[in-house]
Amino acid sequence: MLRDVFKPLCAAALLACGLTGRAAQAADYPNQPVKLVTAFGAGSASDIVARLIAERLQAALGQPVIVENRPGASGQVATDLVARAQPDGYTIMLATNTTHSSNPHLYKSLRYNPVKDFTPLVQVCNFPFVLAVSAKLPISSVDDLLRYGKANPGSLNYAYGNSTGQISAASFDKLTGLGATAVPYKSTPQAMTDIIGGRATFMFVDLASAAAHIQAGTLKALAVSTEKRSTLAPNLPSVSEALGQPGFDLAAWVGIFGPAKLPAPIAQRLGDELYKIVSAPDFKQKLTQMGAEPTPAQASAFGPFVVQQEKVWGDKVRQAGIQAE
């Protein structure tokens, strides 16, 4: 009988201890290095953005912020790692539409839920993609690529290192009837290497990753993936413009998450500091210079955006005719 009486009291005491512990943990945050995980390799656009943010977040928090690249399985390796990390604010993730919008529709099963397993912190930017080919090929326009495809039936392929590149290329291939073969890569830089070397025919790659190669003359950009011309590359037509067919509109988004159940005070601290960083005029200028479009948004707006984007990218995957693996 006494044991039954004390059960609720014990449970209440344990709950109070847990809350007190979390409150103390939050009040003491941060007291050790913070790890910022990115799902793609060194030199990729997301890696570049992660390092820009880490430098400033380190100054704001007064603790080292270490960027950790965990490429593989179209971002699943990194995303699963963060989903299972302790929700203490010491492991956060720079994620993209690949990890949180496309993967749920490209794979029959994931070990993580893109909404339930994460705490949204801040939206950062968008990446317009460009249709690119090697400078070694006799191709300087979308029309040239189509003529090249007709002259070399069955020999074309496209490379991709993330889901935006995959979905964009598959959509373009279906729309034009090129019949190109898809060739997946672990990361965008690896895919670009084979495009530049002429071992793959074309790819859709974010402008931030491709800019240096385009300027060096080893990669030729033919069009942008957004429906209208991008202010970041105004001389390039859009794919819709080049084909004379409206509706081709694809760009990648980037944001930062923590694991689910991140204590509210820690989520607030991180969200506030990150929003200050990504909305600063000089930071936005750096993004624009590297080929990204700043889209700073706080967690209250970013959370609903992530939910909406999963549905949007699901439609794009189906329209591209991609079968889930």
For 306, left (φ over 0), alpha (ψ -120 to 50), or beta?
alpha
pLDDT at 23 over 90: no
Structure tokens that stand for 325 in this block: 């693996």
pLDDT at 1 over 60: no
In this prediction, residues 214-220 reach a mean pLDDT of 95
* pLDDT confidence band for 9 (50 / 70 / 90): low
What domains can you pick out in the chain, each with its CATH number?
34-127+251-320 (3.40.190.150), 128-243 (3.40.190.10)
> What does the buried/exposed string (b/e) look like for 188-214 if buried means 16 or more CB atoms within 10 Å of the residue's CB?
bbebbebbbeeebbbbbbbbbbbbebb
In this prediction, residues 117-143 reach a mean pLDDT of 96
Handedness of CA 43, 219, 100, 53 (dihedral sign): positive
Three-state SS at 294: strand
Residue type, 4: D
pLDDT tens, 103-129?
A: 999 999 999 999 999 999 999 999 889
- Res 7: pLDDT: 53
- Between the two ends of the chain, the Cα-to-Cα distance in Å is 57
Least confident of 229-233, 260-264, 279-283, 303-307: 229-233
8 Å CB contact between 41 and 47 = yes
* pLDDT confidence band for 187 (50 / 70 / 90): confident
The structure tokens 């923590």 sit at 258
pLDDT tens, 54-78?
A: 999 999 999 999 999 998 888 999 9
Handedness of CA 265, 267, 270, 273 (dihedral sign): negative
